Chains A and B, each alone.
Chain A
Amino acid sequence: MTNKWNLREIVLMAILGVVFAVIYLFFFTVGTGLTNVLTPFGLGPFGYEVIFGIWFIVSIITAYIIRKPGAALISETIAGGVQVLMGSPAGPMLIVSALIQGLGAETAFAATKYRNFSTGVLVAAGIGAAVFSFIWGLYHSGYLALSLPLLSSMLIVRVISGALIAGLLGKWITERLADTGVLRSYALGKEWQSKREHKAS
């Protein structure tokens, strides 16, 4: 899969994976804090659900910049792997969870044959990651033992979080980056520049 990529894109993907691994680890503590507040009501794990979208964001950012098959999947998996390197207490299982989330985002991009990167598709990628990670949670975290109303509200919260935080915030961050001009040699930067030239003329 990585044969068609040039080294610059691969290293970019790796470094974005590293940067977002730091952010992911930080949000793990944020989630734990929220969980503490919600625990007495028996809704503790919702602390993670509301911010779950942050854990998909690197998929959306990288796919939006590089626009090649596999960008969403591989970058998310790298971010998971780097968290393991940094000593995340979630351990090697994090790589598997990240792979599944990345697969969810990748599905949305693959459905458009990697041609369409509009807001709608980016949001769909965030939702795809949320749905895939939820199905994984049904098996792995034992959500199967939870009641249906609770499960559906968890899913809804996670999907909204994926759409807003991963989809919209991811798009916003990437476009601010494109504005700085550092992405000039990648697919998004090229499109951005031609748009700007178009506007100027």
Chain B
Amino acid sequence: MLTSINPTMKAFAVLIPALLLAVTYDPLTPSIYLVFTILVTFLFSKVAFKRWLVIFSPFLLLAVSFAWMTMLHPSEAFSGGDVLFSIWSFQVTSESFWAGISLGLRSLSFAALSLLFILTTDSTKFMLSLMQQCKLPPKLTFGILAGYRFLPTFRYELQVLRQAHRIRGVGRARGMKERLHQFRRYAIPLLANAIRKAERVALAMESKGFTGEPNRTHYHEMTIHKRDWVFVSVFFVMFFVSVFLSYQLGFLNIFGKQF
């Protein structure tokens, strides 16, 4: 289901609510959106829960870390309320506590939105759709796709480089100075090779008649259907639903202003 949505439209569907969620500073609005995103992910795609959790869990840690920082160092707008507890020389008040929780939940709902996109989108189709729907110049699109295709080659080259160094008796680096030197020994040849490849690819493209004309025909036509629009609108409307719900329950807080 989710895999068949037009990639560009899907990108907008996850971008717009993420941009809008950034105005809320209460814990409820992002949590409603987080639950909604997770539900959509598992109801409309075949993403394995275990795989999702493996990618999502580092964000839990980041969210906790950011929430903790906000609680200890709140701005004046968020430092009111009763003192909940104090640690070292910091006093955590109720307002800073909830602001921290809110920011943590916000980053989690951003992560859930991203995963919904990442785990259900084919990267080549995303690029082709950006070219056909967003008018990304074909020169750029095919340049990026060609570069993307070289990723395994780069890994292979690094391996060859490492073996070439070893066979000539260059050992493993020890200490800071040697590490820096080693970085230079690997990074510069790898980058130089990448630049040479770029030149060759450009020549190959030109010699095969690629002009980069924007009004070209496409082998893989990417199209936008009605359900793509529905998909985007659902994600858009759901933001206002969660804002409305938290307003009704008396939680809503926009830029530190309680509503």
Interface residue ranges, A against B (CB under 8 Å): 2, 5, 7-8, 10-19, 22, 32, 35-36, 38-39, 42-45, 74, 78, 81-82, 84-93, 95-96, 139-142, 144-151, 173, 176-177, 180, 182-183, 185
Contacts and interface: CB of A to CB of B under 8 A. Distances in A.
B111 interface: yes
B37 to A, nearest CB: 11
Contacts of A78: 140, 144
B151 A176 contact: no
Interface string B132-169: 00000101100110111011001000000000000000
Contacts of A13: 143
B159 to A, nearest CB: 15
B118 interface: yes
Contact of B74 (A81, A84, A91, A146): A146
A77 to B, nearest CB: 10
Contacts of B195: 12, 15-16, 177, 182-183
Contacts of B68: 39, 42, 44
A5 to B, nearest CB: 8
Contacts of B205: 7, 11
Top 3 A-B pairs, shortest CB-CB distance: A91-B114, A44-B65, A14-B143
27 contacts: A7-B143, A7-B205, A7-B210, A12-B199, A14-B146, A18-B144, A18-B148, A18-B150, A36-B61, A39-B65, A42-B68, A42-B69, A45-B65, A45-B69, A85-B144, A91-B113, A93-B14, A93-B15, A139-B22, A140-B22, A145-B96, A147-B74, A147-B79, A148-B75, A173-B188, A177-B191, A182-B192
B139 to A, nearest CB: 5
B211 to A, nearest CB: 9
B75 A14 contact: no
B150 A42 contact: no
**Size bin of chain B's contact surface:** 35 or more
Interface residues of chain B: helix, strand, loop or mixed (majority): helix
B75 A145 contact: yes
A85 B191 CA distance: 21
Interface in B33-72: 55-56, 58-59, 61-62, 64-66, 68-72
Interface of B: 11, 14-15, 18-19, 22, 25, 55-56, 58-59, 61-62, 64-66, 68-79, 90, 96, 99-100, 102-103, 106-107, 110-111, 113-115, 117-118, 123, 126-127, 137, 139-140, 143-144, 146-148, 150-151, 154, 184, 187-192, 194-199, 201-203, 205-206, 210, 212, 255-256
A180 B188 contact: yes
A38 B61 CA distance: 12
Given A11-B143, A39-B68, A176-B184, A150 B73 contact: yes
B62 A17 contact: no
Nearest to B12: A92
Contacts, number: 207
Contacts of B90: 42
A17 B144 contact: yes
Contacts of B15: 92-93, 96
Listed residue (B22, B103, B115, B195) with the most chain A CB atoms within 10 angstroms of its CB: B195
A45 B73 CA distance: 12
A23 to B, nearest CB: 9
B18 to A, nearest CB: 5
B70 A8 contact: no
